[in-house]
Amino acid sequence: MDFVPNTRVRHPDGLSCGWRGVAYEPDEDGVCIVAAAAVAELEPHGFVRLPDKTEVVVESLTEAPVESMPAEEGAEGGDDQPRGRRGRKN
């Protein structure tokens, strides 16, 4: 038997779906676990692929405020000396 990767999809109305004769029922969160190959055919019907639980989603790095790191007490700086890979003076 061939391994078929699965993925999670959700319809805004929490609907079930079917693909190639197989019915997929949503869980309590409205999520259906379907064959990954089904996603392209389900998207036009309003289903949205959800990230796998192991995937990290970064919407935008520019939306988050950037905070500067405070200088450490006693840190040397401004001496324009070449630094090694870990920031130490050579």
pLDDT at res. 51: 84
pLDDT at res. 30: 92
pLDDT at res. 40: 93
Res. 76: pLDDT tops 80: no
Q: What's at 17, amino acid-wise?
A: C
| Position with higher pLDDT, 88 vs 50 | 50
| Position with higher pLDDT, 24 vs 89 | 24
Residue 44 has, within 13 A of its CA and on its CB side, a CA count of: 3
How buried is 39 (Cβ within 10 angstroms: 0-12 exposed, 13-18 middle, 19+ buried)? middle
Q: Write out pLDDT tens, residues 51-70.
A: 876 555 555 555 555 555 55
DSSP state of 48: E
pTM of the model as a whole: 0.54
DSSP state of 74: T
Q: Write out pLDDT tens, residues 8-43.
A: 999 999 999 999 999 999 999 999 999 999 999 999
Query: How many Å apart are CA 27 and CA 36, to the nearest integer?
Result: 17
Q: Which positions ≥6 away from 78 have C-beta within 8 Å?
A: none
